[in-house]
């Protein structure tokens, strides 16, 4: 099952008795606030849900196949999500084939 933006808007509208356009403004503003925080390097913590954080990944060595040379790839940023305690607990209790594992840093890993 996939949840898309309109599903979130409908759920917020239903839970708060807002009109759909008003709920859409609320959801879009929340998402843009999260984006702005991540872009500015802030750590975004939502209690009982998890933490979003922008991390710098060090550059690696790549290969230029045509010239058969090593190329230094630059550092880049990625968004990291660390699930909160309640989310990890919910995933542990899920029945089914997907079994989440918690890595060394507490992040959920799916194998």
The domains of the chain are located at 1-42, 46-111
Q: How far apart are CA 50 and CA 80, in angstroms?
A: 10
Q: Could you report how far apart the first and last alpha carbons of the chain are, in Å?
A: 19
| pLDDT tens-digit map of 36-93 | 999 998 999 999 899 999 998 898 888 888 888 999 999 998 999 999 999 888 888 8
Q: Which two tokens stand for residue 66?
A: 């045509």
Question: Between 2.60.40.420, 3.90.1150.10, 4.10.520.10, 3.40.50.1110, what CATH number should domain 46-111 receive?
Answer: 4.10.520.10
Confidence band of 18 (pLDDT split at 50, 70, 90): very high
pLDDT at 111 over 50: no
Confidence band of 98 (pLDDT split at 50, 70, 90): low
Q: How far apart are CA 88 and CA 104, in angstroms?
A: 14
Tell me which residue has tokens 């609320």: 26
Instruction: Record the pTM.
Output: 0.67
Cβ atoms of 109 and 100 within 8 Å: the answer is yes
């Amino acid at each position: 099952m996939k949840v898309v933006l309109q599903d979130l808007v409908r759920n917020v509208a239903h839970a708060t008795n807002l009109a759909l356009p008003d709920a859409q403004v609320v959801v879009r503003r929340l998402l843009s606030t999260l984006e702005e925080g991540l872009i500015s390097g802030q750590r975004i913590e939502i209690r009982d849900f998890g933490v979003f954080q922008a991390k710098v990944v060090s550059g690696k060595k790549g290969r230029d196949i045509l010239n058969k040379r090593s190329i230094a790839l630059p550092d880049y940023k990625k968004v990291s999500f660390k699930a909160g305690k309640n989310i990890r607990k919910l995933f542990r209790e899920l029945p089914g084939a997907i079994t989440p594992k918690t890595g060394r840093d507490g992040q959920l890993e799916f194998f």
